[in-house]
Chain A
Amino acid sequence: MTERMPAASERVVANLRRAAKRVFNAEAGTAYLFILPSLIGFSVFYGYPAVRAVVISFTEWSLLRAPRPIGLDNYERLLGDPLFWNAMKVTGLYVLYNIPIQTILGLFMAVAMHRLTQSLAVRGVLVLPYLVSNVVVGLAFLWVLDPLLGTVNMMLGWFGIARQPFLGSPEQALASIAGINIWRHMGFTALLFYAGLQAIPKELYEAGTIDGAGEWRLFRNISLPLLRPVMVFVLVTSVIGSFQIFDTIAVTTQGGPVNATRAIVWYIYENAFQFFRMGYASALSVVLFLILITVTILQMRFLQGSRSELE
């Protein structure tokens, strides 16, 4: 036994040394130095808070006293919270208003540009709203859609249509916000589709035209199937973005009138930063994360599932 001890420990030391060499050779050392700044940023502001959010969600914490562990109470409470269900309904409706119209308009714009004009200026103008902050867009529309003095009401007047309250009424506020965001994003969506269309070989369209296909059939049989990867990207990212609508609400309606625009992220914001219910807000945000993951997986499944059309 005593004779084998040094041998064993030597082997351990040798192993350690080899492992250390693998981890701390010159190249790896350089690599760790290169990664260090980003690793600090990642650990402190992404990795650690992601875990901490879940931990906080199991506590009651107003920031005034130490957090009090309460197990799953926040999640239980959430299920019985009418404002949570209202937020889910508002958010779901918003996504339903927003996504189809935005995608169809963007697709139409892209096809029109692709077939009619390659002009950089047209693309520049159409994408302008996307380059401007949500705050600017929200303020501009608050004025343009003003119930009394807004330009849109003036224009409706030209056609003899009565003034509309838009953001000021519980019935129209959510649709107005969806409209604002459709306006902001349709040009960017068009740009993505346009880039996708440009990647399609021109010969396909020429062959189609020779076969006597009209614009609609060219679109239906060539453009649309070949745009599938871009379509997946556009739908997945815009749905994820839509679910997190916040800035426009912060500038225009702040959740009102009544609860008409209290979407989920605004509701989480209120809980965390106005009522300082950090635990409950974290539980809500974890639930939002789970919903987004589910929706994304479902979308991927669904969009891949009808792939056979391509061939």
Chain B
Amino acid sequence: MRRFLARLPLGKLFGWLVLLALVATTVLPFYVMLKTAVSGPGTLFQQARSLMPLEATTVHFERVLGLLSPEEARAAGGTGAVVDFPRALRNTIAFTVVVVLGQVFFSAMAAYAFARLRFVGRELLFYGYLSALMIPNIVLFIPNFILIRDLGWLNTFQGMIAPFVLMTPFAVFFLRQFFLGIPAALEEAAKLDGASPFGTFWRIILPISRTPLVTLGILTSIQAWNEFFWPFIVAREADVRVLTVALQSFQTSSAYGMPDWAGLMAATFLSVVPIFVLLIVLGRQVIASLQFSGLK
């Protein structure tokens, strides 16, 4: 027995224990979110003494998705001031899709020019782009808000996407670094075959750059899906709100009574489902993309 104990790798055991504790800590808030969302109406106080769901039900999800009539929803604990979840979800999806496609495509075009084409002012412009990485968002958001307001674009879709859809300095920088590593011989062959510069870009460069484009696409989608600050400033009206803004207003609007925790947690949980799916389906690529984002 003593021998066995002596051989037991205490350090490893300790490592595992702490690692598992950290995993449990990471999972706990998600679990509580789900537990509250699936517990029956009116069980909030009992729930404060239990880790298990009580009177399991899907009524809060149905309520949040707008599948119940207002009376039914109120009976299930809704305050009536329910967030229009389906609309916010549609807005978030539209925002994410347009921002990702636009940003990745236009940034790739610019990155290609910076990496491959010779023109006057190339270095200067590139360093201009790079230096913008240093500026805190809030510095730019004030003048940008004023611009969007002067354009009459407050509470519009175009106002929400405008700063993200044509480029971000990070996207251009990221793709340029990759394009620099593509052998020039590939494009020369295309040029000899009489391909136009855009043809070369479209048929040679983009296809062989699938991996970095997917990486950037994943990073940009997560960012766009979770974007809060800018939409919070320029698009707060109910019909254009994205999920993050809708959820924040849902919480603050019930500041005087007891918030509708069950509904809030159901909505919050639903908004995370796409991230779960992304992680399960593309786990390896997501993890690789994130690891990569730190090793520029």
Number of residues from B at the complex interface, CB < 8 A? 97
Please state if A128 and B33 are interface contacts (CB–CB under 8 Å).
no
Q: Give the docked Cα–Cα distance between A265 and B272 (Å).
A: 26
Q: Give the docked Cα–Cα distance between A110 and B123 (Å).
A: 38
B-facing mask of A175-216, CB < 8 A → 1, else 0? 000000001001110011011100000000000000000110
Please state if B271 and A136 are interface contacts (CB–CB under 8 Å).
yes
Q: Give the docked Cα–Cα distance between A42 and B104 (Å).
A: 14
Q: Give the docked Cα–Cα distance between A115 and B136 (Å).
A: 37
User: At the interface, yes or no: B11 with Cβ under 8 Å from chain A?
Assistant: yes
Interface of chain B, main secondary structure: helix
Within 8 A of A (CB), among B204-236: 222, 225-229, 232-233
Q: Give the docked Cα–Cα distance between A130 and B137 (Å).
A: 19
Please state if A265 and B138 are interface contacts (CB–CB under 8 Å).
yes
User: At the interface, yes or no: B157 with Cβ under 8 Å from chain A?
Assistant: no
Instruction: Choose among A52, A56, A148, A240 the residue with the greatest number of B CB atoms under 10 Å from its CB.
Output: A52
| Chain B residues within an 8 Å CB radius of A132 | 226, 272, 275
Nearest residue, chain B, Cβ from A244: B136
Please state if B32 and A278 are interface contacts (CB–CB under 8 Å).
no
Chain A interface extent, by class: 35 or more
Please state if A194 and B291 are interface contacts (CB–CB under 8 Å).
yes
Please state if A63 and B146 are interface contacts (CB–CB under 8 Å).
yes
User: At the interface, yes or no: A8 with Cβ under 8 Å from chain B?
Assistant: no
A190 to chain B, nearest CB (A): 9
A241 to chain B, nearest CB (A): 10
| Chain A residues within an 8 Å CB radius of B127 | none
Q: Give the docked Cα–Cα distance between A112 and B13 (Å).
A: 11
Report which of B47, B118, B142, B226 forms a contact with A27, defined as CB distance below 8 A.
Answer: B118
| Chain A residues within an 8 Å CB radius of B278 | 131
Within 8 A of B (CB), among A231-274: 233-234, 237, 240, 243-244, 246-247, 250-251, 254, 265, 268-269, 272-273
Assuming the A-B contacts A126-B26, A141-B29, are A285 and B142 also in contact, with contact meaning beta carbons closer than 8 angstroms in the complex? yes
Please state if A46 and B132 are interface contacts (CB–CB under 8 Å).
yes
Report which of B132, B197, B290 forms a contact with A50, defined as CB distance below 8 A.
Answer: B132
A-facing mask of B18-38, CB < 8 A → 1, else 0? 110011011111101100100
Q: Give the docked Cα–Cα distance between A46 and B145 (Å).
A: 12
Q: Give the docked Cα–Cα distance between A67 and B145 (Å).
A: 15
User: At the interface, yes or no: A75 with Cβ under 8 Å from chain B?
Assistant: no
Please state if A129 and B149 are interface contacts (CB–CB under 8 Å).
no
Nearest residue, chain A, Cβ from B129: A42
A53 to chain B, nearest CB (A): 5
Please state if B251 and A272 are interface contacts (CB–CB under 8 Å).
no
| Chain A residues within an 8 Å CB radius of B25 | 183
Q: Give the docked Cα–Cα distance between A238 and B293 (Å).
A: 13
| Chain A residues within an 8 Å CB radius of B73 | none
Q: Give the docked Cα–Cα distance between A246 and B48 (Å).
A: 29
Within 8 A of B (CB), among A15-46: 22-23, 27-28, 30-32, 34-35, 37-42, 44-46
Please state if B120 and A28 are interface contacts (CB–CB under 8 Å).
yes
| Chain A residues within an 8 Å CB radius of B64 | none
Please state if B113 and A143 are interface contacts (CB–CB under 8 Å).
no
Please state if A112 and B291 are interface contacts (CB–CB under 8 Å).
no
Report which of B29, B120, B162, B294 forms a contact with A192, defined as CB distance below 8 A.
Answer: B294
Q: Which of A78-86, A93-101, A116-124 has 4 or more CB atoms under 8 Å from chain B?
A: A116-124
User: At the interface, yes or no: B160 with Cβ under 8 Å from chain A?
Assistant: no
Please state if A46 and B291 are interface contacts (CB–CB under 8 Å).
no
Q: Give the docked Cα–Cα distance between A51 and B42 (Å).
A: 55
Q: Give the docked Cα–Cα distance between A46 and B226 (Å).
A: 21
Please state if B226 and A47 are interface contacts (CB–CB under 8 Å).
no
User: At the interface, yes or no: B97 with Cβ under 8 Å from chain A?
Assistant: no
Please state if A48 and B143 are interface contacts (CB–CB under 8 Å).
yes
Assuming the A-B contacts A53-B143, A254-B252, A273-B145, are A35 and B125 also in contact, with contact meaning beta carbons closer than 8 angstroms in the complex? yes
Q: Which of B55-63, B74-82, B163-171 has 4 or more CB atoms under 8 Å from chain A?
A: B163-171
B51 to chain A, nearest CB (A): 7
Report which of A37, A191, A215, A243 forms a contact with B167, defined as CB distance below 8 A.
Answer: A37
Q: Give the docked Cα–Cα distance between A50 and B112 (Å).
A: 26
Q: Give the docked Cα–Cα distance between A278 and B142 (Å).
A: 7
Q: Give 9 nearest A-B pairs by CB, closest first.
A: A41-B166, A133-B226, A49-B143, A38-B110, A192-B294, A31-B117, A38-B167, A28-B119, A195-B291
Q: Write 6 A-B pairs (CB below 8 A) sorted by A numbering.
A: A31-B122, A38-B166, A38-B172, A53-B142, A183-B25, A268-B142
